[in-house]
Structure formats: structure tokens, C-alpha cells
Amino acid sequence: MARVEIYDTTLRDGAQREGISFSVSDKLRIVHELDKLGVHYIEGGWPGSNPKDMEFFERVKNVELENAKIVGFGSTRRKNIHAKDDPNLAAILDSGVKVACLVGKCWHVHVEEALRTTWEENKKMVGESIAYLKEHGLEVLFDAEHFFDGYKADPDFAIDVLKAAQDAGADCLVLCDTNGGALPLEVKRIVEEVKAKMDTPLGIHAHNDTECAVANSLVAVEAGVAQVQGTMNGYGERCGNANLCSIIPALNIKLGIETISPEQLMLLTEASHLVSEIANFSPYPQQAYVGQSAFAHKAGVHTSAVERHDQTYAHINPALVGNIQRVVISELAGKSTIVMKANELGIDLSGEEHKVTDILNRIKGLEHVGYQFEAADASFEILLRKALNIHPTFFKLERFKVTMEKREDGKVATEATIKLHVGGRTVIETAEGNGPINALDGALRKAIGSVYPALDSIELTDFKVRVLDEKKGTGAVTRVLIESTDREKTWGTIGVSENIIEASWQALLDSVEYGLTHKRVHEEQGFNSMDSADNPEDG
């Protein structure tokens, strides 16, 4: 089996995406995850360029890695000086890395306009820099910047730069589509032409400005490159870099080309989501292979087929990349969707056609007025359990009231009072909050927290509001989506109403009840119905 090395540059190129700012601790966590995933090279940044990268390279020396090599990135020496006098090259050596990646110019426009030097001096800058690091025992990769633009403008000059790097001892010549403007057919042609002229292994570094970075990387491999550079989730400047979360499984599964082991490949979804969380981005649901929706089925005809054979609407077995197949509930659902979703919850509805029909009609009716269960699995589960009369009642609401007061000094005060029946008694509690929902959440927790202590571990992590019919202005129907967690799993709930407080209460109530149901608090305390919940001493 052919083999391709994976070079990850999330910590440098990926960090150039707008909105990303990795701390040193963030970078070290990502290093651990990428090493576990099995990538071969992890580019840490520019040694000596800033205090953060200096600290990273110092701390990463103490990290024991099983699979990956840490790479120091830098540019070739400055013009008209000796390599031994260049501070950038000195910083790479001082960092203690065993691998360096040097970037050099391969497009005459950059040589003449950006560097303002001669073509001959540029080739010397490349060759002498690589030779200097090789003399100090480093493995050296050469990133041929703007190579495809340079080759299309003047192939002889671009090849001469590569030959200067090759003659100096470079271990890999990485062809960079720095502007991201190349298309797959020309990438494949150029790589084949270059490979015929060079003896050193080639690599590919693609950017995504034409949405072709993954395709360009794959055709480059078919044309003979031995290394692919990219980032987790395709993070990067402008439109991003080649997405390793798509490239790795495409090579392994689709093309039969080894990158990481099958066992490591099963960690891909986990790694993708972890990097997203560290970058402070929500994982992109529609991302190929690793997205939450990558193997989700919504239309009834699809779920009916999937029920018969799980790969009828899946291009691979999702378990190969650590993902799962999901059934999404929506107005497009058929009866098979309901049965399959119930099976996921451990409920067998295969012989309950009339109940399935009733549940399906309820879903379609609710979605007609604005509900969206594909974003609120927890609310769907509660709906299902209620329809089957197996959902526990934790408390009975009598009423709640929310007030907001804006004072003369400009301060705003919000207060909620709730009256409910729980644990055999009537409880009235009041709480203040930084908004009506926060206050209502606080009052509910005060009212039932002593009966259900597991509530302490349940917290709201996201709150989204959408107006469904903007033309009605303040009288429009509002959809509220709440995301919650118990520190072990995360779930979504929904509420819909013309009154935003009521919509929020629906989503909040589902969130709490779902969390308590899965904590099995009612079972642990012997609560099997509303009657026993009102009389905990009977348990």
C-alpha cells in the first residue's frame, strides 16, 4: 500500500483564521490530540517571532510524543547576508526542533516586488538557508511559496528554485498554492511535470480560495506527492487551508493510501471537535466525514431505506471515522423515522403503528407552527415519552410571574417568582437575574433543587432566539432553542410561542426534565409518578 505523510499546520496557518487566538496551553492540548491521531508532523509556529511561540517551543520540549515530530517554521535568510547571521534561522536552531520548514519565493513577482532582489540572489537565499540547517543535523522541508502561480508565469524559474532547494539537501519540496487559485486539473498536470524533473519527494500545501483545496490535495497525491499539508477543520486565513479531516479519510478509505492507522482514523471526529472547541468555534454540523449531520437522515424515504440497510444513504460506515449515523426528526419524517429514532432511545415501536402515526402527526403539526426538532433531540424524546405515557412528572407548575424594572439611575432589575408542587408540598420561590429567563431559571432551581440535587450539574450553555414571521413585528411567533449540558453530554430543547417568555419556559422546562430523566433522579429516590413525587416519604 502506498503511504502519504500528514503535516498539520493548524497551530500556525490555521491560527491565522479570523477569530482564532490559541494560548500556549491550547496549542499543547492540540499537540497531544494530533499526536494521538497519528499525524506525522505538527508545525508549532515561528520560533523566536513572538513571546507566545517562544514559550510554546520551550514547553513542548518536555512533551513526549509517540507519532509526530514538532516542526519549527521560518523563512529563508534575508537578502545579502550570510545564513549564519540570520536571526530567523538562529531562532529555529535555538528552539531545539529536529525538523524545520522553510518558506521561499518561487514566483518572480514576489522576488522582484516583495523581496526586491534578483532571481539569482533569491535562489541563493533558498539554497544557503537549507544547507545551513542541514549542516546542523535538521530535517528540512521547503515550502515553495506561490509555486503554482510562479510555475504558470515562468516554469523555468520556478523549477530552478526547487533545484536550488534540492541541491542544498532539502528532504521534501512542498508545492504551495498560496493564493488558493489553482484548479485540480492544472494542479495534477503541474505536479506530474515537476515530479518528472525532480528527485526529491514532493508535497502539497493548498489553500481553499476556490473551494478546491481538498480536491487539489487529492489529485496531487494521485500525481505522486508524498506529503500533504493542511489544517484541522480547514482553518486558515481567508477561505482556509486544505481540510485534513476530509483528506485523511479520503486517502485512507477511498484511495487505499495509508496515512494514519485504522484505529487512529476512528479518533478523527473526536479530534476535529476538540480542536473546534479549543478554537472557540462550534463544530460545523455539515462538515464532511466528521460533522454531526454528515450521516444524518431527515427525509422519510431515506430513513426507510437506512432501516433496511445502514449504508443505502451513507458513502462510508461512519464508525470508520468515529462518527455515528443519526435519524433527524422533522416534518419530512416518515413512520420509519419515528421507529428508528425510538429504537435509538431503547423504545420498540415496530408493532405500534397507530402510536407511530399519532406521534408523526403531532410532529408535523408542531413543525407547521414553528417547532424544529432536528435541532432539539431532547424535546423530541420528551414528546415521544409523553405520547407513550412513560415520561415522569417531576413537579407541577401552578404559575410563574416575571417582572422587569428600569430605574432612574439606568439600572435594570429582573425578578421571577414561581409557584409549583414538588415533593408533596407547595413551593413559592423568587430569584433575580440578568434577564427574564435567567431569573426564571434561578427561581425554578431554588424551588426544586432540594428535591432534585442532580440539578446542580445541569447548566444552560447556549440560548438562541429566532423570529419566525418578521412581518408581524413584535407580535411574531418566536422560536427559542436552548443547549444544555450535565458535563457529560449536551442536549438541545425548543419552545415556540408568540410570547418569548413562554417559548423560553417551554425550552427551559424540557431542558431540566430531560437532564433529570437521564440522571435517573426519580428512580433513585423512588419517584415513579406524580403521586409518589408529591409524597417522597412513600419511596
pLDDT digits (tens, 9 = 90+) for 64-94: 999 999 999 999 999 999 999 999 999 999 9
Q: 458, 470 in Cβ contact below 8 A?
A: no
- Indicate if the pLDDT at residue 494 is higher than 70: yes
Integer Cα distance of 103 and 173 in angstroms: 10
DSSP run (H or E) holding 371: none
Q: 97, 57 in Cβ contact below 8 A?
A: yes
Q: Give every CB contact of residue 50 below 8 A, 6+ residues apart in sequence.
A: none
Beta strands 326-327; 296-297: pairing state: parallel
Question: Which one is predicted more confidently, 108 or 265?
Answer: 265
Q: Look up cell 494514519; give the residue.
A: 260
Q: What are phi and psi of 168, to 5 degrees?
A: -80, -5
**pLDDT, position 387:** 84
Give the confidence band of 533 by pLDDT, cuts at 50, 70, 90: very low
Q: What would the mean pLDDT of 259-281 be, rounded to a whole number?
A: 91
Which region among 139-153, 228-242, 415-429, 465-479 has the lowest average model confidence (pLDDT)? 465-479
- Indicate if the pLDDT at residue 367 is higher than 90: no
What DSSP string runs through 477-506? -EEEEEEEE-SS-EEEEEEEESSHHHHHHH
In terms of Cβ atoms closer than 10 Å to its own Cβ (0-12, 13-18, 19+), residue 524 is exposed
Q: In sequence order, what are the beta bridge partners of 203?
A: 174, 227
Domains and CATH numbers, the chain: 5-278 (3.20.20.70), 296-368 (no CATH), 396-538 (3.30.160.270)
- Indicate if the pLDDT at residue 521 is higher than 70: no
Number of alpha helices (DSSP H) and beta strands (DSSP E) in the chain? 20, 16
Task: Give the helix, strand, coil percentages of the chain, each rounded to 5.
Answer: 45, 20, 35
Question: What value does the mean pLDDT of the chain take?
Answer: 87
List, for residues 143-163, the tens digit of each pLDDT value: 999 999 999 999 999 999 999
Grid cell for residue 55: 514559550
Which region among 214-223, 328-337, 369-378 has the lowest average model confidence (pLDDT)? 328-337
Most confident of the following: 329-333, 360-364, 482-486: 482-486
Q: Where are the alpha helices (DSSP H) in 100-204?
A: 108-109, 119-135, 147-153, 155-167, 184-195
Give the confidence band of 474 by pLDDT, cuts at 50, 70, 90: low
Give the confidence band of 304 by pLDDT, cuts at 50, 70, 90: very low
Put simply, whether the predicted model's pTM sits higher than 0.75 gets the answer no
- Indicate if the pLDDT at residue 195 is higher than 90: yes
Integer Cα distance of 280 and 273 in angstroms: 10
- Indicate if the pLDDT at residue 100 is higher than 80: yes
Q: Which of 424, 33, 92 is nearest to 245 (CA)?
A: 33
Q: 228, 217 in Cβ contact below 8 A?
A: yes
Give the confidence band of 539 by pLDDT, cuts at 50, 70, 90: very low
Grid cell for residue 92: 529555529
- Indicate if the pLDDT at residue 257 is higher than 70: yes
**pLDDT, position 337:** 66
Integer Cα distance of 90 and 536 in angstroms: 72
Q: Where are the alpha helices (DSSP H) in 279-424?
A: 300-308, 335-344, 353-368, 377-387
The four Cα atoms 245, 23, 64, 100 give a dihedral, to 10 degrees, of 70
List, for residues 40-72, the tens digit of each pLDDT value: 999 999 998 889 999 999 999 999 999 999 999
